[in-house]
Chain A
Amino acid sequence: MNLLEIIFYALSVFALVCAIMVLVSKNPIHSVLWLILVFFAISGHYILLNAQFLAIVNIIVYAGAIMVLFLFVIMLMNVKKDSEPQKQLFVKFIGVIAGGSFLTLLISLVKQSIPLVGKTVLLKEGSIGLINPLGKALFTDYVVPFEISSVLFLSAMVGAVLIGKK
């Protein structure tokens, strides 16, 4: 097992443990902090895949902006720790069973698929994740979706203000 595989397994285990802690922890603020750790682990995966632009954007947008928005809303509402009504134990059990069988189904499907056998992912090499090729592709082939997404942002901003005002 070489170094890259060790990094892959360490990041994966870290991300999965933090993702489970998001669900388990009672306090919503702790959930947000665990989710930020998950995003950092996923950014580590992006760096491992040499997708440097996405790694930085993931940290800035998700861990920096979206999670701060979540924290802001939670602290604004001043939700008490024990105020969340729990679902019945039976419903929780059914939910875990449903998610587990979903996972088992998809994993057995992937294991049986013949086109995926022997395919490997380039780690640490390749230049498509760098800023220069991505910027060129974004502003030549994908310039129309880029502009449309700015309109989407504007409408989202107007909508958020409109909903939150009254």
Chain B
Amino acid sequence: MSIQYYIFFCLTLFSIGVVGVLTRRNAIIVFMCIELMLNAVNLLLVAFSKMYNGMSMQNGAVSMAGIDAQIFVFFIMVVAAAEVSIGLAIIVMMYRNTHSIDVNFLNRLKN
């Protein structure tokens, strides 16, 4: 499978996440679209790691090249889990104060 198909797929998934962030006003949906973008990047990292591994396996017999990207994906998942717990706590606090989860209420930070 050519690497370009993986890149096209991940770019489309990422763009869907971008469109979601730009067009929705529900804070939870916006947050979910950010998770979607993170997942697209994760899949692209794994695809590149397998591409690099295949390139180095043409020279040597067994190669561990490209394992760093998969470790990176693991750490991205760790950071995403921590981020979600904090972000949802902030959304709950915002709902308790304003009784709404509209992101436009957050423009009070301007003044």
Contacts and interface: CB of A to CB of B under 8 A. Distances in A.
Interface residues of A, number: 83
B101 A128 contact: no
B86 A156 contact: yes
Given A35-B32, A156-B82, 6 more contacts: A23-B16, A69-B85, A70-B88, A96-B22, A121-B3, A152-B82
Contacts of A116: 3-4, 7
Nearest to A156: B82
B7, B11, B19, B24 — most chain A CB neighbours (10 Å): B19
Contacts of B3: 116, 119-121
Nearest to A12: B9
Contacts of B54: 120-122, 126
Contact of A152 (B20, B64, B78): B78
Given A54-B46, A69-B84, A121-B47, A22 B32 contact: yes
Contacts of B16: 16, 19-20, 22-23, 99
Given A87-B25, A137-B67, A49 B46 contact: yes
A123 B47 CA distance: 9
Interface string B41-69: 01100110111011101000010111110
**Chain B interface secondary structure, helix, strand, loop or mixed?**
helix
B102 A85 contact: yes
Contacts of A126: 50, 53-54, 57
B89 A128 contact: no
16 contacts: A15-B13, A16-B12, A23-B23, A35-B36, A42-B43, A58-B42, A73-B28, A73-B92, A79-B26, A96-B23, A99-B18, A107-B8, A128-B65, A128-B70, A142-B71, A160-B85
A91 to B, nearest CB: 7
A57 B29 contact: no
